[in-house]
Amino acid sequence: MRFVERDEGILGGERHAVAEWTALATHPDTGERIEWDGIDLILVRDGRIYRNAVYSSAHRARPQAT
């Protein structure tokens, strides 16, 4: 599995950052190449990361684009 950042990269402000990505993988049972999208929402307090919430569409993986 590998992750590819979207063209915008990581966007953020003083108290948060958002990283958009696409995950690429091979299905372990079928060998099909699949992908799905997601984001990391990174919350910052006192200059330190205190939460990294991950949201993805993994339940709806799609065939990998060529």
pLDDT of residue 62: 85
Which sequence spans correspond to the domains of the chain?
Answer: 2-63
Query: Which fold, 2-63?
Result: Nuclear Transport Factor 2; Chain: A, (3.10.450)
Model confidence pLDDT, tens digit, residues 22-39: 999 999 899 999 999 999
Q: What is the pTM of this model?
A: 0.77
In sequence order, the 6+-apart residues with CB closer than 8 A to the CB of 24 are 1, 2, 3, 4, 33, 34, 35, 64
Is residue 59 helix, strand or coil? helix
Whole-number Å distance between alpha carbons of 43 and 47: 10
Model confidence pLDDT, tens digit, residues 41-50: 999 999 899 9
